[in-house]
Amino acid sequence: MSTSLPRHVGIIMDGNGRWAQVRGLPRIEGHRVGAESVRDITRASRQLGLEALTLYAFSSQNWARPAEEVKALMELLRDYLVDERAEIMDNQIRLHAIGDIERLPAFVKDPLDALCRDSAHHRGMTLTLALSYGGRESLARAARALAARVQAGELPLDGIDVDTLGGALPTGILPSLDLLIRTSGEQRISNFLLWESAYAELMFVDVMWPDFRRTDLFKCLEQYAARERRFGLTSAQLADPESDVEPTAG
């Protein structure tokens, strides 16, 4: 495998429902098997030495799904947090959550908060779960937080720039997003990391999430390594060792 490993990979884990439906199973079975993919991809990412893995598990818009499916997803999330606790603690993984966490039921929020707190000192890999998450909602919240600082006289108006806005996002503690993968063949962002994906390499994979395992991730990483990320510069600039131009959005 190439040495140009991304530092931060984000995944839109899509296709659980369709995976189940073509097998004549209830959608929730797809979510259940999808949790196995989460385990395998997390383990492989840790072993590869990724600094950050961000998984889109439940969007702000997914609350509008049938109540029965939302309930089953919440129960699976709780099971995941309980079952994976030891693995996360033993492997120096730092768990981080982004999204409107307050909206989660206590039986999810409590184990989530506990595991985030207990793993906060870990330096192995940051595993971020996007839960009750929307990119637009996240940007609106960051804008509100900065506006409050301006109103309080702590921040000048022109202090709102790319750095402060990026830093006010809950992903501000992570390296820039390098690679964004979406499974299931859909080619859209669906309100995932809107700001953070500005210069991410996008990859749309024709595999349903419950079938996506480490070999599929390795293929994505191979493709990533073969791409030229230019950040607005020319190929010649990037290839010129004498050039003192620094890409600014990486």
- Positions annotated as catalytic residues are 14, 62
Asked if residue 103 lies in contact with residue 132, where contact means CB atoms within 8 angstroms, the answer is yes
Reading the block at residue 109, the tokens are: 């929020």
Q: Contacts with ligand IPE in 72-91 (CB under 6 A)? A: 73
Q: How far is the CB of 164 from ligand IPE (least distance, A)?
A: 28
Reading the block at residue 187, the tokens are: 């080619």
CA distance 168 to 111: 25
x-or-dash pattern for ligand IPE, window 178-197, by CB under 6 A?
------x-x-x-x-------
> Coil, strand or helix: which one is 21?
helix
Contact segment (CB under 5 A) with Mg ion among 12-20, 126-134, 152-160, 219-227 equals 12-20
Which of 6, 17, 99, 135 touches ligand IPE by CB under 6 A?
17
Per-position b or e across 4-26, b if 16+ CB within 10 A of its CB: ebbebbbbbbbbbbbbbeeeeee
Contact segment (CB under 6 A) with ligand IPE among 9-17, 41-49, 107-115, 234-242 equals 9-17
Reading the block at residue 221, the tokens are: 């990483």
137 binds ligand IPE (CB under 6 A): no
Phi, psi torsion values for 187, nearest 5 degrees: -115, 75
138 binds ligand IPE (CB under 6 A): no
95 binds ligand IPE (CB under 6 A): no
Q: Considering the complex, state which of residue 14 and residue 178 has its C-beta at the smaller distance from Mg ion.
A: 14
Which of 8, 12, 14, 73 touches Mg ion by CB under 5 A?
14
Beta strands per DSSP E along the chain: 8-12, 52-59, 93-98, 125-133, 179-182, 201-204
212 binds ligand IPE (CB under 6 A): no
The residues that touch ligand IPE, with contacts defined as CB under 6 A, are 12-18, 56-59, 62, 73, 184, 186, 188, 190
- Residue ranges in contact with Mg ion by CB under 5 A: 14
